[in-house]
Structure 1
Amino acid sequence: MSTDGPSGLPKTNNENTPAVLPASGDPEENGAKRKLDIEIREMEVDDIPAAFHLGERVFTAEKTPTLYRTWDEFEVVSMFTSDQEYCLAAELDGQIIGFILGNVITKRKSAWKYGYLVWLVVSPEYQRMGIASRLYNRFADKMIEDGVRMFLVDTEADNLEALHFFRSKGFNSPQQHIYMTCNPAVQEQQKEKKRGSRVKKNGNEHKHSA
Structure 2
Amino acid sequence: MTASAEDPEPKSRRSSIKIREMEIDDIAQVFHLGEKLFTAESAPNTYRTWDEYEVIELFYGDVEFCLVAVKDEKIVGFILGTTITKTHSAWKYGHLVWLAVDPALQRKGVAEKLFRRFKDVMLKHDVRMLVVDTDAENLPALRLFRRLGFGNPKQHIYLTMNMAGERQLMKKKTNGGN
Q: What range describes the TM-score normalised by the shorter chain of this pair?
A: 0.7 to 0.9
Match of 1:137 among 116, 123, 141: 116
Q: Residue type matched to 1:31 in 2?
A: E
* Corresponding position of 1:78: 57
TM-score when normalising by structure 2? 0.87
Cα distance change, pair 69–33 in 1 and its aligned pair in 2 (3 A): farther
The percent of aligned pairs where both chains have the same amino acid is 54
Matches within 5 A, 1:107-118: 107-118=86-97
In structure 1, what is the Cα distance between the partners aligned to 2:16 and 2:61?
A: 30
Match of 1:65 among 44, 51, 55: 44
Answering whether residue 25 of structure 2 is matched by residue 46 of structure 1, we say yes
* Corresponding position of 1:175: 154
In structure 1, what is the Cα distance between the partners aligned to 2:170 and 2:57?
A: 37
Answering whether residue 6 of structure 2 is matched by residue 31 of structure 1, we say yes
Q: Which 4+ stretches in 1 moved above 6 angstroms?
A: none
In structure 1, what is the Cα distance between the partners aligned to 2:118 and 2:138?
A: 21
Cα distance change, pair 74–36 in 1 and its aligned pair in 2 (3 A): same
In structure 2, what is the Cα distance between the partners aligned to 1:50 and 1:109?
A: 39
Match of 1:87 among 66, 69, 80: 66
In structure 2, what is the Cα distance between the partners aligned to 1:33 and 1:43?
A: 30
Q: Is the 8 A contact 2:15 2:72 kept in 1?
A: no
Structure 2: runs of 5+ lacking an equivalent: none
1:31: Cα distance to partner? 3.0
1:105: Cα distance to partner? 0.9
In structure 2, what is the Cα distance between the partners aligned to 1:139 and 1:33?
A: 31
Deviates further, 34-43 or 100-109: 34-43
1:186: Cα distance to partner? 2.2
Q: Residue type matched to 1:129 in 2?
A: K
1:188: Cα distance to partner? 3.0
Instruction: Report how many aligned residue pairs link the two structures.
Output: 168
TM-score when normalising by structure 1? 0.74
